Structures are given as structure tokens and as C-alpha cells.
Amino acid sequence: MIVHSRPDVLRVLFTLKGSIVKRIAWRCLLVTLLAALIVLVERHYPEMFSPVSATPFTLLGLSLSIFMSFRNTACYDRWWEGRKAWGRMLIEVRSFVRESVAIADPELRRELLRSLCGFAHALNAGLRGEDALGAAQPWLNPAHSLSPHNVCDGILRNIGQRCSELAQTQQISEWRYTLLEQRLVGLAEVQATCERIKGTPLPFPYTLLLHRTIYIFCLLLPFALAEPLGWLAPLFTTIVSYTFFGLDAIGNELEDPFGRDENDLPTDSLVRTLERDVLAALGHEPLPPALMPVDHVLS
């Protein structure tokens, strides 16, 4: 995630960090060269061109803008829902830490709380298509083997089983067990929410229609601008293509907010925050440092 102070005019105009320009530069360049070629041909062979009204492009551009706003809103909703899910994870873990003070065995409490850190690491790695078990293993009890099928769920099952055993042996009250189980249910809901966002992209025909319409609009626009604007046509074509290609690329990036793109959620930082909270509750010193933005990027 990009972390910037309030940008000044120069930074707004020239910064590339977090900008979508790098992803769409070639497309904009090709459209600009096409527009220049069309203007060149129109200037030397005007008889080959018949006047093209800009009215259809105005209507199409307006419709396309509305269509893109709906798609980008849907993509941003996915990004924001993912952030809320990770925020809820912090709430549930912190609540579990407070409620676990009723566990008299300090080693067992330490094992359970470290397992929650393993859950966060496993979820973060799994959402990125990485080794979830390997990410969680340093935080888990080596005596407990987990299936790589669903590491996060396996961790929650183990914690739930240990809490259930504490309740059955009356080491914690049924009321306390119910509270701890509610926190585990909340973490399971966080996992399900993130997996739903990750595994359910926007409908492909919806995205495909938008991509095709953008390309058609940007490729045909120079034909309407060449005769009335002359050599200004490539400039205005570049501005329009930058806007439409940029909005399309931003939507694609926000659709999956759990990757390693510059504008994705800072899940590494959130996991580190959770680690620090848990280790502080266990009296661990010194705490690992909080992650800070590197070149304005918080991972």
C-alpha cells in the first residue's frame, strides 16, 4: 500500500511510485503513435477521409465512463472489505489474548497465543499462493502435525480442541470457553471472507466487455479528432487513453487486494502488528520492530 504525506503539485504530476503509468505506458504509446499516423495520412491524403462526427464518441465515452465507475466501485469494495476483514482479525486476536488470562497453565497459554500468530501467517501466505504451512510452522508446536490442505482451519481446530479439553477438565468455566470459542468463530469468518474475495473474481464477461469497448474507443477516436484538431489529436488521444486504460488497470489491481502489488493491502504489516500484540502479552522482550514504509510502500 502506498503511504504518502499530502502530495504537493510536483509530486502529483511526476511521481511514479504507486502510479498506474508503468502498467499502461505501452498501450498509451501505441495509441498515440496510431493517432499521429492517422493525422499524417489525413494531412497528405485528405480525400481518403470523410468527416466523422464526434457525437457518437461523446455518447460512447459517457456510457463507458459510467460503466467503468460501476466496475471500479465494485473492485474498491473488495479492497475495503478485505481491509475490514483483517481489522476484525486484530480485534478477535486481541480479545482472545485478554480472555485467555483464565488459562492457568502459562505454557499452554503461550502455545495457544503463538498458534494465533501462525494462523495469521498461514492466511497471509495462502492468500498470496505461497506455502501456508511453512509460513505458520515457526509459530506452532512441533508435536502437532497439520495437513497442508487447509492450514488455517487446522490451527483453529487445534486451538478449539485444547480449549474444549480445558472446559471438560474444569480448568476454565463453560462461560469462558464460550467466549474463547466465539473468537475462533470470528477468525474462521475472517478466513472465509478473505477466501471468498480471493476466489470469486468479477464475472469475466463483464470485464471482457469493458476491455473490448475501451480498446475500440481508443483506437477509433483519432479518426474523429484528426480532421478538426490536426496535430493536437495525438495529445488528446493520449489523455483519453491514459484515463480509460488507467481506470481499467486500477480496477484489475484492486480486484485482488492480497497480492504484492504496490496498491495491495499491507497484510505483512498487519501480521507484524498482531505478532507484537501477542508477544507483548506474553512478556516477550524485545518486540520485533513494526514494519515501516520502504520508498513509500508499506507491504
pLDDT digits (tens, 9 = 90+) for 134-172: 999 999 988 777 878 899 999 999 999 999 999 999 898
| pLDDT given for residue 94 in this prediction | 95
Q: 124: pLDDT confidence band, cut at 50, 70 and 90?
A: very high
pLDDT digits (tens, 9 = 90+) for 41-81: 878 777 666 666 667 777 787 888 888 888 888 899 999 99
- With 60 as the cut, is the pLDDT of residue 13 above it? no
- For the cut 70, the answer to whether the pLDDT of residue 245 exceeds it is yes
Sorted by sequence, the CB contacts under 8 Å of residue 51 that are 6+ apart come out as 227
Find the mean pLDDT for residues 9-31.
72
| d(C-alpha 251, C-alpha 75), whole Å | 6
Q: Say how far apart CA 107 and CA 96 lie, in whole Å.
A: 16
Nearest to 245 by CA among 63, 72, 74, 53: 72
Share of the chain above pLDDT 70, in %: 90
Residue with cell 464460550: 178
Contact 57, 219 (CB under 8 A): no
Q: What burial letters (b/e) apply to 36-65, b meaning 16+ CB within 10 Å?
A: bebbeebeeeeeeeeebeeeebeeebeebe
pLDDT at 52: 67
Give me the pLDDT at residue 77, please.
94
Rounded distance between C-alpha atoms, residue 113 and residue 97, angstroms? 7
**pLDDT at res. 41:** 83
Q: Which amino acid is at 125?
A: A
pLDDT score of 292: 82
**pLDDT at position 272:** 94
Cell of 291: 514494519
Secondary structure class of 297 (helix, strand, coil): strand
On the question of pLDDT at 110 being above 80, the answer is yes
pLDDT given at position 12: 54
The pLDDT value recorded for residue 6 is 61
- Which of 39, 30, 49 is closest to 222 using CA atoms? 39
Please answer whether residues 47 and 163 qualify as being in contact, where contact means their C-beta atoms are separated by less than 8 angstroms: no
Q: 135: which 3 cell numbers?
A: 509460513
Q: What are phi and psi of 2, to 5 degrees?
A: -80, 130
- In contact, 124 and 273? CB cutoff 8 Å: no
Average pLDDT of the residues in 112-116 = 94
Give the pLDDT of residue 189.
97
Q: Which pLDDT score, from 0 to 100, does residue 180 have?
A: 94
